[in-house]
Structure 1
Amino acid sequence: MTAAAAARLILTQLHEIMASRMHAQRKLDRVVEIIAHNLDSEVVSIYLLREGMLELFATRGLNKEAVHVTRMAIGEGLTGTIADNVETLNLAEAKAHPDFQYRPETGEEKFHSFAGVPIVYRERAIGVLCVQHVDPRRYEDIEIEALQTTAMVLSELISNNDLVDEEEALGLAPEQTGPANIAGLSLVKGLASGNAVYHQPRVTIDQVMADDIEVERQRVYRAFDKMREQIDNMASNAEFGVGGEHEEVLNTYKMFAYDEGWGRRINEAIDSGLTAEAAIERVQQRTRMRMREIDDPLLQDRMHDLEDLANRLLRIVSGQMGTAATQGLRGDTILIAKNLGPAELLEYDKRRLKGVILEEGSLTSHVVIVARAMGVPVLGRVRGLRGIVREGDEILLDAENGTATVRPAQTVADAFETRFTKSRKRQADYAKLRDVEPFTRCGTRIQVMMNAGLREDISNLNLVGADGIGLFRTEFQFLVSATLPQRERQFRLYRDVIDAAGDRPVIFRTVDIGGDKAVPYLRSGEAENDENPAMGWRALRLALERDGLLKVQARALLEAASGRSLYVMFPMVSEPWEFDAAKSVFEDQLAYLKSQKKVLPEAIHYGAMLEVPALAEVLDQLLPRISFLSIGTNDLTQFLFAADRANPKLAERYDWLSPAILRFLRRVSLAAVGQPVDLGICGEMGGRQLEALALLGIGYRRLSITPVSIGPIKELVRQVDLAQITEAMNGWLAHPPENLRTTLAEWAAERGISVD
């Protein structure tokens, strides 16, 4: 008899029991009898999760008096180990296993062989199905597979009859149904509150047992066809290019999508009497169990690929496609996800999306860049969210301090609301500074500009009263696009931004993609294997090699700025020749447009970003060639300290107010004195009041920052006397105090200067 036939025999009888009006306990008693009879097993037992413990609910072969008496913790004994690891055990001699525990009330001392499978509900073990025999022997695969399939049907019976608590089924311990605090890494700072919504809603399997096997089989065949078509379309898309890691990923997907063994296992599960959805989930459960036995990281990645593909197949066959964005948000929302792409985030209703919590995520990930531009707080690196947060739970997100409170007590919610109200009042006060020009107490005008990257950002120019856009990240359009943006599309965006800015300058940074901002449609050859992507084949390095990309962008920018001034900034310049090469691409396109009698820009101002420390050593050569220089403090800091900002262990380790970074920045500032070059900062450092105070003291007069920081920085500027702060900074950098941050904060407090 095949495994499918054995399981089908059991399931046919289980179907009758589930449809009957018997009491739930009586159903379980009948289930163990049926399994024992069909598998010729001397002992069959069912343990279920109750109040955090695995309790013996039904048995055939052990002492009946032990039912509802024998209990063990998760991880305790063989049964607890199965539940804890969500794995199958198959032992010829149970007592030889290190986790074996003898329970005298069960009368199991005469049984030697043991096999157990987890009863899984929504990826969590809510019980265990066990068989035992007197004779020592390992159970055959046919028996184990029949047990695993039976356990899946038991999951439906158990959940439908409320035999386990819903919170326990979801992996929520009793104390987790009340308030819970979670901690992570602040990726985008801010405060937010709302109800939890999962980005990828669970595929709910409403029916486990099939009414018609052939109907289920055809549903799976159609789903396979549709899934393979989707994968083929991705793989054959000419925009993806040839070679590179993305092609390897797609080839792996194709291999799994056309794998006959995978399809055969799903078919066998259907043969046993399962619906298409249940069959896919059944095979997926088996895959997860096998993943736990694999030590090879490469093979584990491949198994993850298969699970991703199985999720795709499950969504197709169930018709439960799309994300929470396609279903629409119904109120203030804290979005929960493993990870997100920037395009996925932009699909959400910005009026209702208040915050994001990610299981993964890094400070440099694309979604964080977009979320920061949108003003949406993000907390990342939070593990085990599914076991803590339920759909609809109230969440107070404090991305200022890297924490969130789930299902908060009323006192906590009230305190958070008070803090939130103060924050909003502060923002309202800052808004009053919208039309106020930021002059220092000594009368020096400081340029306070904003960073942007989306068309929607432009409205912030008037809302916050910025002097212009000091950094427009053109790569956003590339990051959120499935294909390379064509020239006409780029032109429309750039023209709209220049139009909206009016007489205020917009500094366009040419595309900074590649490395840690990989896009699927550009082949980067060996760079796909960059061990240090932030320092790899990216930004200007990529653009100069793929000069067609830079030519298209140059044409789009030049045409968009016809009759007006154009400000162009090249990212990650390491040596002057790179700036020259990039500028020549623009000059060639300018000459072409002139030959075509096109309206040209009134003036073109070329600049560079100083992110690579090496550039500081050749400023004497570079400064005479440029109109402006912007220092990108984010990348510069990680390069100076050799510290990856995406690494949570290092993210907060190196201080922007370290004498090392401040001395470097002052040296650059002094090098620009007497040169006709506009020097500025663009990066998060300039958007923090205490850091901005230090920057003013070492000679910086232009700051380009996030829109929400404009008000606080204007407030700071109006309180500062530049002579005083310059003298103080010179002294501290000559003889650094033990903690410059503390010293600067105390200095500001003594003079009534408000700093965050």
Structure 2
Amino acid sequence: MASFTLHGIPVSRGIAIGRAHLLAPAALDVKHYLVPQEQVEAEVQRLQKAIATVHKELQTIWNDLPKDSPAELGAFIDVHALILSDPMIAEVPLDIIRSRSYNAEWALVTQIDELSAQFDEIEDAYLRERKSDIQQVGERVLKVLTGTATALPPQADGEESAGRMIVVAHDISPADMLQFKDRAFGGFVTDLGGQNSHTAIVARSLDIPAAVGMYNASALIQQDDWVIIDGDAGVVIVDPAPNVLEQYRERQARLLRERKKLGKLKKTPAVTRDGTPIMLLANIELPDDCPAAMEAGAMGVGLFRSEFLFMGRTGYLNKLPSEDEQFESYRKAVMAMKGRPVTIRTLDIGADKPLDAAEQTSLNPALGLRAIRFCLAEPQMFLAQLRAILRASAYGPIKLLIPMLAHAFEIDQSLAMIEQAKNQLRDAGKKFDPLIQVGAMIEIPAAALTLPMFVKRMDFLSIGTNDLIQYTLAIDRADHEVAHLYNPLHPAVLYLLSSTIAIGAKAGIPVSVCGEMAGDIKLTRLLLGMGLREFSMHPTQLLAVKHEILNSDLMLIAPHMKKILRTMEPAMIMSAVEQLRAD
């Protein structure tokens, strides 16, 4: 068989080499037939029994989670259990059987297709990819109904030396991934998924090389094919030539050696060679991510994405976490960070993340009622979150971050709401930090171009590069058709970044970057040269960025910066940024 290469989305670093193990999907293409009227209730019971079986499976997996498992795994299994309990899955298919006499599989797939179509309308990449959770839960029930299962091959002697198993699948759920945790499991390749899919999040938390969004990899790759995953590039090489295999084995060994060296930097302060201290912070989704942040040596949390607490409730469960429930999560994170600051971003949901899955979305929700616009339109929900964050600030240093601000009146209304929440807590006799710092996410070009109104009102700024690039270049980063145009080194992006950092420094207020650029070691020296002194990233990226900082000299970087920021030619910018690392 001739070697071939597939290109997808890189979501987790590293190189994996091994034999392909294909996971056959419980295809949503099922038998369709009508059930005789006298057998309808028996068919209803068959589906109910399958749902109950999956509930037990998920509970068993949850109970058997190793204590050292990433917190995300338990959370995702909880989400799948919640989806399974939701009337949209647990009841509507039963009604379809009764009203249309469909067989159980057909009824379930009909409802899943309906829900999936609603999620396709959602503009936001993160929530749109939650569609895969519904499909994964549906597949799990179908596997029970059809008697198929996700089988693993018997573990052969010497599998470690012969090459680790590379799982290849159309899609893979977090629950299924647990089967591979204790196996000779080197990495995985999926047809579906994006940067924010659960598959990607779990890959990063387990630090396993992965490439997702590969389209038809599961159809092209055959059982036991030799496969190389280049997780940094999102490239998969199938049946590589011997010399290519040897090159990647050498790279893999070098990466392992480098990773061991990085482990020794955990307690080393992040200081450039010319003595400039840099603050390295962690991005987290859940309070249980804090131990990993501490273990990596993070000086605090630069971004706590609070929507993770709402995940699995908005969109299809229509049940928001209470103020007390949110407070406990925020307090847990603050306590876990042991005096290091925790920056909590307020809820980033909206028309693109509807509280009711059946709710009509707007024509272009990315430009619609989302993030702070949505929160200001739902003041009671927003006040409950603000009170929860404020109450947690009595237990340790918290900074409050507001997403997607673009107008002076939005800033003023947000600050007024925070004051209102403080007054409500004073009236209730509840403690909070009255001097809590409030910051703005700079992720809309309009915000980056009107910074004076931000620095006058806010205590700090945090640049969300993922959305800033998306909005500046008019590109949906989850859309494969235009993903190649998503370029953090576009001159317009560099101008907005550098001017935001410079204006913040001149005003004397801290500026951090919390998007993917902060964790990309190829861009570390560029950001240092722009004047960035606070980086926030996934904990697994922190030590590599620290190593880059320790080997950077700002005196050598400075002469290159004017040339880079004045250049309009992409090739010249790329070459100059590469030169920064070479010096």
Secondary structure of 1:652's aligned partner: helix
The structure-2 alpha-carbon separation of the partners of 1:393 and 1:318, relative to structure 1 and needing over 3 Å to count, comes to same
Q: Is the 8 A contact 2:230 2:236 kept in 1?
A: yes
Shift in Å, 1:309: 12
Check if 1:257 corresponds to 2:89.
no
- Bigger mean CA offset, 640-649 vs 542-551: 542-551
Secondary structure of 2:265's aligned partner: coil
Deviations 1:443-500 (A, max 9, x none): 2111121211133421222322122111111122222555433333322322221111
Secondary structure of 1:739's aligned partner: helix
**Aligned equivalent of 1:478:** 310
The structure-2 alpha-carbon separation of the partners of 1:625 and 1:398, relative to structure 1 and needing over 3 Å to count, comes to same
Q: Is the 8 A contact 2:190 2:218 kept in 1?
A: no
Check if 1:186 corresponds to 2:18.
no
Query: What letter corresponds to residue 623 of structure 1 in structure 2?
Result: V
Q: Is the 8 A contact 2:405 2:440 kept in 1?
A: yes
The structure-2 alpha-carbon separation of the partners of 1:314 and 1:598, relative to structure 1 and needing over 3 Å to count, comes to closer
**Aligned equivalent of 1:503:** 339
**Aligned equivalent of 1:641:** 473
Deviations 1:263-305 (A, max 9, x none): 5xx9xxxxxxxxxxxxx79x999x9xxxxxxxxx99xxxxxxx
Query: What letter corresponds to residue 485 of structure 1 in structure 2?
Result: P
Check if 1:689 corresponds to 2:536.
no
Mapping 1:232-381, distance limit 5 Å: 256-258=96-98, 260=100, 262-263=102-103, 315-318=143-146, 334-339=166-171, 355-365=187-197, 367-369=199-201, 371-381=203-213
Deviations 1:125-177 (A, max 9, x none): xxxxxxxxxxxxxxxxxxxxxxxxxxxxxxxxxxxxxxxxxxxxxxxxxx5xx
The structure-2 alpha-carbon separation of the partners of 1:734 and 1:389, relative to structure 1 and needing over 3 Å to count, comes to closer
For 2:364 and 2:11, locate their aligned partners in 1 and report how far apart those are by CA, in whole Å.
20
Query: What letter corresponds to residue 9 of structure 2 in structure 1?
Result: L
**Aligned equivalent of 1:75:** none
For 2:372 and 2:220, locate their aligned partners in 1 and report how far apart those are by CA, in whole Å.
44
Deviations 1:414-443 (A, max 9, x none): 654432221121111222211111222222
Secondary structure of 1:591's aligned partner: helix
The structure-2 alpha-carbon separation of the partners of 1:442 and 1:414, relative to structure 1 and needing over 3 Å to count, comes to closer
Check if 1:740 corresponds to 2:564.
no
Check if 1:657 corresponds to 2:489.
yes
Query: What letter corresponds to residue 42 of structure 2 in structure 1?
Result: R
2:451 to 614, 619, 632: 619
For 2:136 and 2:294, locate their aligned partners in 1 and report how far apart those are by CA, in whole Å.
44
Shift in Å, 1:508: 0.9
Shift in Å, 1:574: 1.7
Q: Is the 8 A contact 1:473 1:508 kept in 2?
A: yes
The structure-2 alpha-carbon separation of the partners of 1:571 and 1:284, relative to structure 1 and needing over 3 Å to count, comes to closer
For 2:91 and 2:476, locate their aligned partners in 1 and report how far apart those are by CA, in whole Å.
31
Deviations 1:362-396 (A, max 9, x none): 33446535544553443223233443456777654
For 1:623 and 1:194, locate their aligned partners in 2 and report how far apart those are by CA, in whole Å.
52
Query: What letter corresponds to residue 260 of structure 1 in structure 2?
Result: R
For 1:587 and 1:347, locate their aligned partners in 2 and report how far apart those are by CA, in whole Å.
45
Query: What letter corresponds to residue 10 of structure 2 in structure 1?
Result: S
The structure-2 alpha-carbon separation of the partners of 1:691 and 1:308, relative to structure 1 and needing over 3 Å to count, comes to closer
**Aligned equivalent of 2:42:** 222
For 2:406 and 2:198, locate their aligned partners in 1 and report how far apart those are by CA, in whole Å.
23
Query: What letter corresponds to residue 626 of structure 1 in structure 2?
Result: M
2:234 to 402, 407, 411: 402
For 2:435 and 2:467, locate their aligned partners in 1 and report how far apart those are by CA, in whole Å.
30
Mapping 1:377-388, distance limit 5 Å: 377-388=209-220
The structure-2 alpha-carbon separation of the partners of 1:377 and 1:409, relative to structure 1 and needing over 3 Å to count, comes to same
Query: What letter corresponds to residue 574 of structure 2 in structure 1?
Result: R
* Identical aligned residues as a percent: 28
The structure-2 alpha-carbon separation of the partners of 1:674 and 1:345, relative to structure 1 and needing over 3 Å to count, comes to farther
Q: Is the 8 A contact 2:168 2:218 kept in 1?
A: no
- Bigger mean CA offset, 578-587 vs 625-634: 578-587
For 1:730 and 1:689, locate their aligned partners in 2 and report how far apart those are by CA, in whole Å.
21
Secondary structure of 1:674's aligned partner: helix
The structure-2 alpha-carbon separation of the partners of 1:636 and 1:310, relative to structure 1 and needing over 3 Å to count, comes to closer
Secondary structure of 2:272's aligned partner: coil
Q: Is the 8 A contact 1:395 1:404 kept in 2?
A: yes
For 2:452 and 2:490, locate their aligned partners in 1 and report how far apart those are by CA, in whole Å.
26
**Aligned equivalent of 2:116:** none
Secondary structure of 2:485's aligned partner: coil
For 1:375 and 1:602, locate their aligned partners in 2 and report how far apart those are by CA, in whole Å.
39
**Aligned equivalent of 1:512:** 348
Q: Is the 8 A contact 1:186 1:401 kept in 2?
A: yes
For 1:509 and 1:324, locate their aligned partners in 2 and report how far apart those are by CA, in whole Å.
41
Q: TM-score, normalization: structure 2?
A: 0.74
Q: Is the 8 A contact 1:220 1:317 kept in 2?
A: no
Secondary structure of 1:450's aligned partner: strand
Check if 1:679 corresponds to 2:511.
yes
Q: Is the 8 A contact 2:13 2:231 kept in 1?
A: yes
Shift in Å, 1:411: 7.1
Query: What letter corresponds to residue 309 of structure 2 in structure 1?
Result: Q
- Bigger mean CA offset, 410-419 vs 452-461: 410-419
**Aligned equivalent of 1:595:** 427
Q: Is the 8 A contact 1:366 1:479 kept in 2?
A: no
Task: Count residues in correspondence.
Answer: 508
Query: What letter corresponds to residue 100 of structure 2 in structure 1?
Result: E
Find the structure with the greater CA-based Rg: 1
For 2:272 and 2:416, locate their aligned partners in 1 and report how far apart those are by CA, in whole Å.
39
Mapping 1:30-69, distance limit 5 Å: none
- Bigger mean CA offset, 454-463 vs 403-412: 403-412
For 2:540 and 2:440, locate their aligned partners in 1 and report how far apart those are by CA, in whole Å.
25
**Aligned equivalent of 2:156:** none
Shift in Å, 1:317: 3.9
Query: What letter corresponds to residue 577 of structure 2 in structure 1?
Result: L
Q: Is the 8 A contact 1:455 1:493 kept in 2?
A: yes
Secondary structure of 1:507's aligned partner: strand
Deviations 1:21-52 (A, max 9, x none): xxxxxxxxxxxxxxxxxxxxxxxxxxxxxxxx
The structure-2 alpha-carbon separation of the partners of 1:563 and 1:247, relative to structure 1 and needing over 3 Å to count, comes to closer
For 1:310 and 1:399, locate their aligned partners in 2 and report how far apart those are by CA, in whole Å.
29
**Aligned equivalent of 1:462:** 294
Deviations 1:174-206 (A, max 9, x none): x5xx97754433244433356666677549xxx
Query: What letter corresponds to residue 523 of structure 2 in structure 1?
Result: E
Q: Is the 8 A contact 1:563 1:599 kept in 2?
A: no
Shift in Å, 1:677: 1.3
**Aligned equivalent of 1:42:** none
Shift in Å, 1:338: 3.4
The structure-2 alpha-carbon separation of the partners of 1:747 and 1:614, relative to structure 1 and needing over 3 Å to count, comes to closer
Shift in Å, 1:717: 1.8
Deviations 1:74-128 (A, max 9, x none): xxxxxxxxxxxxxxxxxxxxxxxxxxxxxxxxxxxxxxxxxxxxxxxxxxxxxxx
Query: What letter corresponds to residue 744 of structure 1 in structure 2?
Result: V
Q: Is the 8 A contact 1:337 1:358 kept in 2?
A: yes
The structure-2 alpha-carbon separation of the partners of 1:186 and 1:563, relative to structure 1 and needing over 3 Å to count, comes to closer
- Bigger mean CA offset, 187-196 vs 690-699: 187-196
For 1:474 and 1:390, locate their aligned partners in 2 and report how far apart those are by CA, in whole Å.
41
For 2:202 and 2:366, locate their aligned partners in 1 and report how far apart those are by CA, in whole Å.
18
**Aligned equivalent of 1:632:** 464
Query: What letter corresponds to residue 422 of structure 1 in structure 2?
Result: R
Query: What letter corresponds to residue 740 of structure 1 in structure 2?
Result: I
**Aligned equivalent of 1:423:** 255
The structure-2 alpha-carbon separation of the partners of 1:613 and 1:248, relative to structure 1 and needing over 3 Å to count, comes to farther
Secondary structure of 2:456's aligned partner: helix
